[in-house]
Amino acid sequence: MIDPATFDFYQSKAPFYSLDPSVGPSRHLDCFLDRLESGARVLELGCGAGRDGARIRERGFSLDATDAVPAMVAKANERHALGARLMRFDELDADAEYDAVWAHACLLHCPTAEMPEVLGRIRRALKPGGLHYASYKLGTGEGRDLLGRLHNFPTAAWLIERYRAAGFAIEDELMFAGKGSDGTMRDWLALTVRTSG
């Protein structure tokens, strides 16, 4: 499920991603959390070194932080004591357990062919009416960035169609420009979606 070169990149670069304690949480996180009820249970996919998870917990939510890379899980727990655990996207097997799923800049590494299954797993993991956020680098199809990491690089229309097919209603679409770790400026799409019910 996880591309070997992408895995190796994050496994070797985990210390780099946890070096600067002044780097704050993702810019869309607080707006997403503001939509949730007090004490909501939040699954974080791709927690990395733990900066967003620390903010989720600081805001008083119940956090289940996960990442597919052992070195990232170790850094998240070392720096923020999140109780993060190892889990790939395709290992998510929850059924109506979470009020929200936060997936900042991680599902963009999911192989294109696996996206429908992964979105279905996220849908099943959410309670009726649950919220999900994810952000993607846009493009014209799967490829690698200058650091060798696999990205799905979807079009906005393709992404929205996949989410709707998985049973999500689109609540917010936010397009913005951003520079990736490889220094390349790209258009991004951040989606906030909700399950029915």
pTM for this prediction = 0.96
pLDDT of residue 197: 63
Spell out the per-residue pLDDT of the chain, length 197, in tens. Answer: 789 999 999 999 988 877 666 567 999 999 999 999 999 999 999 999 999 999 999 999 999 999 999 999 999 999 999 999 999 999 999 999 999 999 999 999 999 999 999 999 999 999 999 999 999 999 999 999 999 999 999 999 999 999 999 999 999 999 999 988 889 999 999 999 999 86
Bridge-based pairing of strands 126-137 and 185-195 is: antiparallel
List all residues 6 or more positions away from 138 whose beta carbon is below 8 Å from its beta carbon. Answer: 153, 154, 155, 156, 186, 187, 188, 189
pLDDT of residue 161: 97
Pick the CATH number of 4-14+26-195 from 3.30.70.3340, 3.40.190.10, 3.40.50.150, 3.40.50.720: 3.40.50.150
